[in-house]
Chains A and B, each alone.
Chain A
């Protein structure tokens, strides 16, 4: 796999609020993540990490700058087209899996394929096996935190996305489980050639990551320590 560009963020500024009380959540942020690369973003609370994911994932349009996924420019797309890009090109892994309570593990994975046509759909059973899930017929209330996160990761990979955005995946997990889950993410990112951005507060898991960035008051820099 050559160095396909997964994500390219160039000079993005995002200002929250209006009128008197405005917060600059992202201040001239640039970030490039190649296909198969796994980067982490750390930083104090309120520094703009979630804002970065929101911009990269087409959930919010920045005030200036450009966001590209592969060869698709997100800036200027309608809400409908953005939803389409999220559905076909991006995988999201949320804080605690955020699975739907009514679906079994295997149905969680089938769901993305029911939302519309997908170019390269994965096989749910195979993918569940890949992430080490055996309780396929269990609903989220019967799964442990780690298992939920595995299902969440597998769900995000169902559509063979170009970009994987991961928001604090270990927030609800103990140390041991955290290591397992992040190792899995790193493995899947490399194995599937997915550009992956993970936001985390957990410094213990950074050994699994390639480049580590630090966010501070909306400014993104490569972490030095």
Chain B
């Protein structure tokens, strides 16, 4: 530490330059983390808040678009409910629609069709819970856009009118649009494009998107066996997020950017300490000649790298949190949470240390003999 500290303060300009690169990457990490969490919330918060353990979709459905492609028979729900370890299973409908309010405001909705009063039907924190056909319970955030209990939203194209009877607590979104809960029969008719007053074809009331399954507490349900027996394709709730539109692409793009930044940061830090170590070669030769052990030299240099990396990451993350607090209050999908921010910052330090360690290992190759003047 004796030498490490004095060098940090002596060459502070150079170290500050390096530190600011790491700090800026740290700041970007915080913003990316906020954006990731924000996008996840915006993409699947409506699913995250479901009391569901797994979904059973149509067999061999494309897993990346299961919610829009899958059709299952409502009777399968009862068969699922009879499986070992399953507490409850009911049909679940999910479809995206465009609607218009009384006030001519266009609202895109993810219509979730559930049986009123079932375990899957949500509680309303404002107004009443879903009671029957022709009603809708909306995500709480829509209240901010001026929608109120008693309003009527009309489904575009087919003209189905839905009366707003209540609102859920806070944000419920799916595929970046707000969620509205309707009675399963209403959902089936909207999905089939049946206009109000028209006769409903026979099969319409047989279809749902999937069977929502809740496991008994602590039960370990063999999904593969159940799928084989009942002709379905199951995904756990977490897996089903990937079936939300754009979810997988968004998350993997952000993760890729994040990993690029880690690698860039580790390379920049490695290159910096390589140059520093090469510049110090004569100095290191002198230190070794006067008896400094390899351990002493490595410890000193690694302490220096650690101070630089941790210090600048803390500064960068701090700046990112300040900036992020500003963005959080804007309509951007952005949410800062402690765990994801820490998880984003930690690899910056760890990978930076690996880069620095590889660079600093050069110390072991410096021959103390070169400290003697004119000696080759």
- Contact check, A107 vs B373: say whether CB atoms are below 8 A apart: no
- Contact check, A60 vs B373: say whether CB atoms are below 8 A apart: no
The reply to whether the CB of B368 lies closer than 8 angstroms to some CB of chain A is: yes
- Contact check, B372 vs A87: say whether CB atoms are below 8 A apart: no
- Contact check, A115 vs B296: say whether CB atoms are below 8 A apart: yes
- Contact check, A92 vs B293: say whether CB atoms are below 8 A apart: no
Q: How large is the interface on B (under 10, 10 to 19, 20 to 34, 35 or more residues)?
A: 20 to 34
Q: Which of B7, B282, B291 contacts A102 (CB 8 A)?
A: B7
The reply to whether the CB of B369 lies closer than 8 angstroms to some CB of chain A is: yes
Q: Which secondary structure characterizes the binding site on chain B?
A: helix
Assess A95 versus B373: contact at CB under 8 Å? Given A100-B3, A102-B7, A111-B3.
yes
Bound together, the chains give a CA A87 to CA B288 distance in angstroms of: 9
Q: Which of B338-372 contact A (CB under 8 A)?
A: 368-369, 371-372
Interface stretch, picked from A49-57, A121-129, A182-190, A205-213, is: A49-57
Q: Per-residue CB proximity of A28-53 to B under 8 Å, as 1/0? A: 00000000000000000100001101
Q: Which of B2, B7, B290 contacts A92 (CB 8 A)?
A: B290
Q: Per-residue CB proximity of A86-126 to B under 8 Å, as 1/0? A: 11101110111010111100010011101110000000000
- For residue A208, give the distance in angstroms from its CB to the closest CB of chain B: 20
The reply to whether the CB of B189 lies closer than 8 angstroms to some CB of chain A is: no
Chain A residues with CB under 8 Å of B282's CB are: 98
The reply to whether the CB of A139 lies closer than 8 angstroms to some CB of chain B is: yes
Chain A residues with CB under 8 Å of B289's CB are: 57, 59, 86, 92, 94
- Contact check, B286 vs A98: say whether CB atoms are below 8 A apart: yes
- Contact check, B371 vs A92: say whether CB atoms are below 8 A apart: yes
Chain B residues with CB under 8 Å of A94's CB are: 286, 289, 371-373
Bound together, the chains give a CA A171 to CA B10 distance in angstroms of: 28
- Contact check, B10 vs A101: say whether CB atoms are below 8 A apart: yes
Bound together, the chains give a CA A167 to CA B286 distance in angstroms of: 13
- Contact check, B372 vs A59: say whether CB atoms are below 8 A apart: yes
Chain A residues with CB under 8 Å of B10's CB are: 101-102, 139
Assess A83 versus B288: contact at CB under 8 Å? Given A59-B369, A102-B10.
yes
- For residue A95, give the distance in angstroms from its CB to the closest CB of chain B: 3
Question: Taking CB as reference atom, which chain B residue is nearest A103?
Answer: B6
Q: How large is the interface on A (under 10, 10 to 19, 20 to 34, 35 or more residues)?
A: 35 or more
Chain B residues with CB under 8 Å of A88's CB are: 291
- Contact check, B3 vs A114: say whether CB atoms are below 8 A apart: yes
Chain B residues with CB under 8 Å of A85's CB are: 291
Bound together, the chains give a CA A95 to CA B282 distance in angstroms of: 13
- Contact check, A59 vs B283: say whether CB atoms are below 8 A apart: no
Chain B residues with CB under 8 Å of A83's CB are: 288, 291-293
Chain B residues with CB under 8 Å of A114's CB are: 2-3
- Contact check, A115 vs B293: say whether CB atoms are below 8 A apart: yes
Bound together, the chains give a CA A95 to CA B293 distance in angstroms of: 22
Q: Per-residue CB proximity of B262-289 to A under 8 Å, as 1/0? A: 0000000000000000000011001111
Bound together, the chains give a CA A114 to CA B375 distance in angstroms of: 27
The reply to whether the CB of A147 lies closer than 8 angstroms to some CB of chain B is: no
Chain A residues with CB under 8 Å of B2's CB are: 107, 110-111, 114
Could you give 8 example pairs across A and B, Cβ below 8 Å?
A50-B373, A50-B374, A83-B288, A86-B290, A88-B291, A107-B2, A115-B293, A115-B296
